[in-house]
Chains A and B, each alone.
Chain A
């Protein structure tokens, strides 16, 4: 059974600071997704990581995937208030038909 764990679960940080969110998963997969969810809203796709060593960047967010370590990271550079949201990683099983989500990291960026 595929399990996905994120840490930290909650992150409060100052604007301008850097931080990393970690996503570990339990079984082999080379397809990992990052989503953002604003309070009371739907999920928005941020990144799709499809191979070992994949790195994607969008603005102040950068995601990477290490399939050998079964680890993905979401790095935040010089945080701004608009990044405040909950971030989820999700791993696709090898059959390609089921996505398992981590518990989410609630990010709060303070001025």
Chain B
């Protein structure tokens, strides 16, 4: 009963390095999301995928790319990491266009030096 699984849980990068955050869900959800949470703030949507094969920008997409690999997996890539991207990243999933709440992973704590 894993739900939404994110890897890695922690990562430290140097400025300019690249990295891919992985997310997988086993709830047969159509929609998946990537958020970032900065200290003392709410979550902000980076990108989402309403269904397999589609991706769309959220509120803060600059500096990120995503790939919806299949129905289960949705990855987030930082091509050239910057200190401003230091944050906690959450992946979530939900039934597409439904009223059911989104289910969240445990987060990836990313520090960029």
* A contact set with B: CB distance below 8 Å: 4, 9, 31, 33, 35, 41-43, 45, 48, 50, 88, 90, 92, 96-104
Residues of B within 8 A of A41 (CB): 106
Contact call B58/A48, Cβ cutoff below 8 A:
no
> Across the two chains, which residue of chain B brings its CB closest to A1?
B59
In the bound assembly, the distance between CA atoms of A43 and B98 in angstroms comes to: 19
> Across the two chains, which residue of chain B brings its CB closest to A47?
B101
Contact call A97/B31, Cβ cutoff below 8 A:
yes
A-B contact count (CB 8 A): 53
**Binding stretch for chain A, among B14-22, B42-50, B63-71, B77-85:** B42-50
Residues of B within 8 A of A45 (CB): 101-103
Within 8 A of A (CB), among B48-63: 48, 50, 56, 58-59
18 pairs from A and B in contact (CB 8 Å cutoff) = A33-B101, A33-B102, A41-B106, A42-B90, A45-B102, A48-B99, A48-B101, A50-B99, A92-B99, A96-B98, A97-B50, A97-B97, A99-B45, A99-B102, A101-B43, A103-B40, A103-B41, A103-B42
